Chain A
Amino acid sequence: MSKTLLDIQNLHAEIEDEGKAILKGLNLAVKAGEVHAIMGPNGAGKSTLASVVSGKDGYEVTDGSVSMDGADLLEMDADERAKEGLFLAFQYPVEIPGVSNINFLRTAINEIREYRGEETISAKDFMAMVREKSAVVEMDPKLASRSVNEGFSGGEKKKNEIFQMAMLNPKVAILDETDSGLDIDALRIVASGVNKLRSENNAIIIITHYQRLLDYIVPDYVHVLADGKIVKTGDKNLALELEEKGYDWITDEINA
């Protein structure tokens, strides 16, 4: 039996300063080789979950634990979590003017390698890797020399996220609404990129509002997140059911 890569137990979190509870006892265990989809209505706490797990400022964890491959994530700074192998594909990737994608990724890779006590990557190997990985998402390698996300179209930004995921080779990847703003061709390319990156050694969590991405990336489990908790878990058919019936029936079911 494969090991648990991400283990979230009884997670409670609120928005700092406001004291507004968003996550209210969330449990989730993701094993190596698995793909989990987390769906739910707007405001259920999906993006908060991604932010809290990745260590974004502005949230306070009031109870519970999050561990990755046995290590306590909540004790770590955001960059340490990334160095440990956590990757977040952002819903809205930020632009960083003047910083080339290449310089950015090389800094990241070398810091991660240094953290792991590995040799830094040579310029030659790095460039070879850029060429190889940009093919995964059919991204024009020229984009890699442009400033991070600056002037990128919505589709290019999302491809760039998956390209970075390919470059950094994480243990656990959380894709936050990666399908939003994508046309059907871009969606197919991004999904196929993610599928190529699936392996027995990593785990992928797809946060999405709609079912359509799951036609391309078939999940092992589908969870419904509502009011800060996972309220229902099923297989890919649950996603289809949600698509058909909406979320109300689940909330009704819980309230009943």
Chain B
Amino acid sequence: MDTVTISEKVEKFVSTLGKPLDESRNSAYQHLLGLDFPTSRDEYWKYTRVGKISKGGFKLPTTQSERINLNDYIVANDYLVIENGIIRSDISQYSKLNFDIEFVDGESVQQFDNKVELNKDDIFTALNDAYFSKAVQIKISQNKVNEGPLQIIYVEQGEGFVANNRIQIIAEKSSSNEIIQTFVSKDGSSNFVNHLAQYYVEENAQLTIHTVQNQAETTSLVSTTQVKQEANSTFRINTITMNGLLIRNNINIAVEGQNCETYMNGAAVTKGKMHVDNHTFVDHQVSNCMSDENYKYVLGDQSTGVFNGKVIVRQDAQVINAYQNNGNILLSDQATVNSKPELEIYADDVKCSHGSTTGQLDEDAMFYLQARGISKDGAKQLLVSAFINEVIDSFSNPQLIDLVERLIEKEHGWSF
């Protein structure tokens, strides 16, 4: 076997994890050893340094059995609990009739990988490949419409764990459903959640993913989402981030069938030294599709927000409408935002646009509200809520919106 030079960082990182116990992960492990953590010299990671993760020292979680009270977070009748990357069937509850869920390994995972390809050279993907415990495969069966939603609760517990979630969802032909993902902490601290999700949206299917991210403030999260859309499908993904140390969301959508619609909404409300980075990539490979994206950041304290939205329209992918919008409000004079909305267009019959605005709250509006007797803080809250409400509204489910609002109040002291 060829000897690979292993980077110091990777060597250190895996030293506390050990070799995967399962022999079948050996090749994934070897592949991981050939990679390295990105630096800010990598264009894809220009504004996000991963030192907080690559410093290593994480350990693999073990199976737990004590009950966890998640009542505050449950917003759906059907829910699945994953603790530190390990499935907790014992405290999950869902209708097996509506959701065909399997916990798999090996060949089945491979088969899904063939449908929705991953970037194997991404170190976080490789890390997940080597260490995930079981993959959750969810099938929304053909023609099943709105039987959900299904909630997946990713809970972090304890200290210093790396949680490798692996989610594979297929929305079969002409199905329609919603998945709610809630990332929460129960006495967790200094963990690293390495989330990897693959969604396959078949013809005529509609899949909506709502994601609420509320990690412990010392925990980092890298979430990689790989999506493939077939003809006439609609995919929506809404993400709100409220707490965590370093949050990086990669959403890569390959639109491979005609007449597809793709919607991405995102919001980040930050405090302390949070760093929230949303990278989206829509790859329009075929004609007659549209995509629409809207990300809003409200940045407080010494936090940093990063937005990188990329749209590619391939040659011969004609009649594409693609819109991107990014709005940023800096609440503090020590907050930073980096925005990079990119368009790469190789076809001519397209209508693409992007807009990015950065500023503080409108002074005139602030004054107007204060002149009507509203306190400065109250006025601020009103304007901030007006700013991000269009994203929050996209969550559409009333219980979920209620949860989001509760969390914003809990984390940021704002009641909308």
Direct contact of A and B (CB under 8 A): no
Residue ranges of B at the interface with A (Cβ–Cβ < 8 Å):
none
